[in-house]
Amino acid sequence: MKKSMVIMTAVLIGILSMGNVQAQAQGDVSDVLDSVDIHGFISQGYLQSDDNNYLANDTEDGTFQFNEFGINFATQLTDELRLGLQLFARDLGDLGNDEIELDWAFADYRWRDWAGLRVGKIKMPVGLYNEFRDIDALRTSILLPQSVYADSLRDVYIALEGVGIYGHIPCDSMGRLSYQVQWGTSNIDDEGGAAKNVERMAMGAIEAKSFDVSDGYVGSLQWHTPLQGLRIGGSLVTVDFKVDAAMTAALGPIPRGTLLTFDAEDLTIYALSAEYAVGDLLVAVEYSRVDIDIEAPDILAGIIPIELSKESEGYYASASYRFTDWFKLGAYYSIYYADVDDRDGDDLEQLGLPDHRAWLKDLALSTRFDINDYWIFKLEGHLMDGTATVSMPENPNDAEEDWFLFAAKLTFTF
Amino acid sequence: MKARTIIVAMWGIMLFSLLAGAPVLADEVVVIANQSVVADSVTQGTVSDIYMGSKTRWEDGETIRVAMLKEGRTHEAFVQDLLGSTPDRLKNFWVKAVFTGTGTPPKVFKTEADLVKYIAGTRGAIGYVASSTPHEGAKVLAVR
């Protein structure tokens, strides 16, 4: 958090002071803001499910704990250099709680179209939509397919504090390549989705207290093919981190509350993506895999048979059609498996757990109404099969296998 | 059961037709640039790269200043015929750039006359207007 504050302060001072210099140079001394672009969005959603509390705590009763807010400031200092930052807050059940965080803040030096440098807190280009996953105005659906854009891992791969290079390489008749490579570290919230994920992997035996991310690497390559509107891409993220966690119960000689450190080396996320836009139709398919291997401390050896290594996978196909300026219809089918070695849930059943915790299959239908240039209203239904990403603590009386989720959202963007 | 299926299908087709609306008739659009721009012609791919943010400099190193219209038939014809896209997708592309901090959007004009004035007075600028719109002071770039 301290590092984020330093980055934010540095970028903000840069924007204001350089904006001032630029304004003076243009002879417009009185208004610094003339040279600073300001944009933002605010949205309020509603979630209700017939069974299972999902994403937020009490969706079975209906909840408004589902909102986002963002505002950004940016200025183009020279033809090559751009500075900007965005503040962001969200509430999604226990996540976010409307605490304002630094979403991104970086200096962008575009030396050539094929080679630019970014320094600061940079959004990670994972899959087609991760960089702008919080911007409701940019898609037809309310929820992105959770199989690939799981909110439980959002804080692991939303942004990196470090450096990145990027560029666009024209390939004549073969189209164009766009690449990004990033290196740095990231902040993982000790009360966020990643923490819950780790706790779930340990079957509730530990409670995550803090994360220490040492290194993170991101690579992304997209090929804008000669077929107009078709782009194909791949992206890879690896993150090394340590989790300090407390035992939630006494285990053998280890008393309850003992603080232990778990090593997670090479948490790897990769995604393969394709998107085709033709006329008012947009179709996309993506496949994503998350490999996580957490090494328990030696003191636990032989005491607990907890398997902390898992490979999950998810994929989806989506389509969206713009019928008029004000109406879009979209649908997707998304499948997620919590453990690729136990897609049918047999291992879970042997542990006395329901097999449907192994998967989540989501058939979603979305409608989007653009009221004007600023206001958007959306309605969405999800026919769900499975409970893989349904939180256990929020559903103490066993989750239901087949269920329905309704979502509505109103967004203002400027 | 059959009759109900047919009625539902007919309603669906009617709704689709209403929502889809009438096709837009494309005006002839010309690409214009500031007199400082050395090139006399550009490829369609180059125009697309410029408006999609992946090309920001002319061949002589001059920065490209991109201008576009907010809406209207000329804008729709340009985006569809030369960019192979839709106004909605072009707008979304630049909204993405704004909210990820990765680019400065083109300068947007409500009228073609204002756009021509900007092009004529701005080094490296590129834009487009209907061929019938007066564009003195700007040069026309042939699109190959």
Nearest to A113 among B55, B84, B104 (CB): B55
- Interface residues from chain B to A (CB-CB < 8 Å): 16, 19-21, 45, 49, 54-57, 63, 84-86, 88-89, 92, 95-96, 98-104
Give residue A254's pLDDT band: very low, low, confident or very high (50, 70, 90): confident
Nearest to B101 among A106, A277, A325 (CB): A106
Nearest to A178 among B16, B20, B54 (CB): B54
The DSSP result for A170-200, as a single string, is E-GGG-EEEEEEEEEE----TTSHHHHHHHH
CB pairs under 8 A between A and B: 82
- HEC readout, chain B: CHHHHHHHHHHHHHHHHHHHCCCCCCCCEEEEECCCCCCCEECHHHHHHHHCCCCCECCCCCECEEEEECCCHHHHHHHHHCCCCCHHHHHHHHHHHHHHCCCCCCEEECCHHHHHHHHHHCCCEEEEEECCCCCCCCEEEEEC
| Count of CB atoms situated within 10 Å of the CB of A352 | 6
Give residue A1's pLDDT band: very low, low, confident or very high (50, 70, 90): very low
User: Mean pLDDT, to the nearest integer, of A163-182?
Assistant: 95
> Residue A37 and residue B98: Cβ atoms within 8 Å?
yes
Token couple for A196:
């819950």
> Residue B19 and residue A324: Cβ atoms within 8 Å?
yes
pLDDT of residue A18: 57
Between these two residues, A290 and B3, which has the higher pLDDT value?
Answer: A290
Give residue B23's pLDDT band: very low, low, confident or very high (50, 70, 90): very low
Chain A residues whose beta carbon lies within 8 Å of the beta carbon of residue B84: 228-229
Is residue A279 less than 8 Å (CB to CB) from chain B? yes
pLDDT tens sequence across A304-324: 655 577 899 999 999 999 999
Give residue A73's pLDDT band: very low, low, confident or very high (50, 70, 90): very high
pLDDT tens sequence across A265-279: 888 999 999 999 999
Mean pLDDT for all residues in chain B: 87
What DSSP state is assigned to residue A113? T
Give residue B1's pLDDT band: very low, low, confident or very high (50, 70, 90): very low
Burial degree of B12 (CB within 10 A; 0-12, 13-18, 19+)? exposed
pLDDT tens sequence across B115-137: 999 999 999 999 999 999 999 99
pLDDT of residue B24: 42
Mean pLDDT for all residues in chain A: 89
pLDDT at B3 over 80: no
